[in-house]
Structure 1
Amino acid sequence: MKWRALMWVLWPSFLIAGATSATVFALVDPLDIKFLGYIQVSRQLAYAVGFFLFWMMAAMSSALTLHMAPRGPLVDEFGDPI
Structure 2
Amino acid sequence: MSTPTRFTVRALCILWPSFLMAGVLEMLVFSLVDPSSLQWFGGAPLEWSASAVYTVAFFVFWAVISTAGALTQMLVTTPADDEHAPVGRSAPRWPN
Please, what TM-score do these two structures have when normalized by structure 1? 0.82
Match of 2:10 among 5, 11, 28: 5
Is it true that 1:22 corresponds to 2:27 in the alignment? yes
Q: Deviations over 1:16-55 (max 9, x none)?
A: 1000000000110100002252132110110001100000
Question: Gapped runs of 5+ residues in structure 1?
Answer: 75-82
Q: Distance in 1 between matches of 2:67 and 2:77?
A: 18
Q: Distance in 2 between matches of 1:68 and 1:35?
A: 35
Please, what TM-score do these two structures have when normalized by structure 2? 0.71
CA contact (8 A) 1:34 1:41 kept: no
- With CA pairs under 8 Å and 6+ residues apart, which has the higher RCO, 1 or 2? 1
Q: Percent identity?
A: 34
Question: Gapped runs of 5+ residues in structure 2?
Answer: 1-5, 81-89
Q: How many residues align?
A: 74
Q: Distance in 2 between matches of 1:35 and 1:3?
A: 38
